[in-house]
Structure 1
């Protein structure tokens, strides 16, 4: 008797499955096909992206070799080509390297390129800050002190990644402008920061010494005039 009930139960399940398959089987097959196509498409995209990255990397290496070989014009053109055709990561690197090569022949144009990078919302804030520092370095010898300070003040925060570089460049600009007291304070701020890199710390110690030595000596205090001796009667 139990076997009969078991067979009936199996028949009911089979019949229910057949009805469901008749109604939804084509959809399930279509869904399975879509999953296979999606996986294959994603794998294909990953392969294509890898090929693009490798090609851009090879182009970037070639451009670097041109730069190292002293062929600034050719290197600049190669980096600009990567800016147009490379993958996103290499495009950003190429923009920096192109500006670096351009600075050898046209400093003003290179500064404009760095400023454009610093204002590009498509670039990460960290790389924007790098561009700000690079532009300020090119300007430190010629720009007014106020310009350097306004450019780098946003980077000089207690936890800013580029606060050390910002303070050093501002200190150099203050020193060149003859504001030795402000320069001494800037280099002291670098030395008082426990996270200052060792190399920068050594430079700051030297520059603070130079700035402090350049400050004018305070005027000597006039000696008091001795009181006149009383007249002898």
Structure 2
């Protein structure tokens, strides 16, 4: 047994061989604790406040997102119900329902509700629909493109019954411009000019549509039809006038 013990390595002492080293370690730990305590006494309130604000902010943001989601779901349901009323021919009720969404609904549904409400009003009474679209066009809080689209919709309602001046008032600037709605505005102008009997102007507008390389195919084909129907109105400006002058000279 003694021989076996002699072969085993001797155990190292568990305590430090230098008592001074342990003392220094204890002093360092005391100083560290003292510094942390002082820092906590000085900034502990702010740390707690920051943690509370972080938790409250996270909870508030989650609550806000949930609220927005619920608002969107409610607006979607109300919008579908208003669409169903309009499809069933209940235009007065549909107009009121769309108006409520446009007033209190989320931003994404407001513009849609404005236009669908104005369309419901137009289905009930054209004058009311034109007034509704004119009101949208006059609302400076809306995006300019939205307002221009409302002008175009009002002109499309007016083209069959109103004067050329009324149509021009709403889409004349759009038709003369370079914006994305110019093609549809020119088409409405050409139709209004044709109905007003100004065939030369209708031919000119239809020609502008067909020569614009960015004109959509559907608009181009309809404009080409107007251009052909009014082709005779454009001819006198080029040919017959000199012939009449020559005839006058021969008479003399």
What is the distance in 2 between the residues matched to 1:78 and 1:214? 48
The 5 A counterparts of 1:22-101 are: 22-101=41-120
Choose from 130, 135, 145 the match for 1:111. Answer: 130
The residue that corresponds to 1:230 in the other structure is none
Cα deviation for residue 47 of structure 1 reads 0.7
Greater alpha carbon shift after TM alignment, 151-160 vs 198-207:
151-160
Q: 1:24–1:97: structure 2 CA closer, same or farther, 3 Å change rule?
A: same
Q: 1:183–1:26: structure 2 CA closer, same or farther, 3 Å change rule?
A: same
Q: 1:156–1:4: structure 2 CA closer, same or farther, 3 Å change rule?
A: farther
How many residues are matched? 226
Q: 1:94–1:11: structure 2 CA closer, same or farther, 3 Å change rule?
A: same
For the Cα contact (< 8 Å) 2:203–2:233, is it kept in 1?
no
What is the distance in 2 between the residues matched to 1:2 and 1:208? 104
The residue that corresponds to 2:7 in the other structure is none
Asked whether 1:167 is paired with 2:186, we answer: yes
User: What residue ranges of structure 1 are gaps of 5+ in the alignment?
Assistant: 227-233
Asked whether 1:133 is paired with 2:152, we answer: yes
Asked whether 1:18 is paired with 2:37, we answer: yes
Q: TM-score, normalised by structure 1?
A: 0.85
Q: TM-score, normalised by structure 2?
A: 0.79
Greater alpha carbon shift after TM alignment, 153-162 vs 125-134:
153-162
Cα deviation for residue 85 of structure 1 reads 3.5
Choose from 198, 210, 214 the match for 2:229. Answer: 210
Cα deviation for residue 223 of structure 1 reads 9.0
User: What residue ranges of structure 2 are gaps of 5+ in the alignment?
Assistant: 1-19
The residue that corresponds to 1:179 in the other structure is 198
Cα deviation for residue 6 of structure 1 reads 7.0
SS of equivalent to 1:103:
helix
Cα deviation for residue 87 of structure 1 reads 2.1
The 5 A counterparts of 1:192-207 are: 192-207=211-226
In angstroms, what is the RMSD of aligned CA positions? Answer: 2.6
Cα deviation for residue 11 of structure 1 reads 4.8
Flag the structure with larger Rg.
2
Q: Which has the higher helix share?
A: 2
Cα deviation for residue 26 of structure 1 reads 1.0
What is the distance in 2 between the residues matched to 1:74 and 1:198? 37
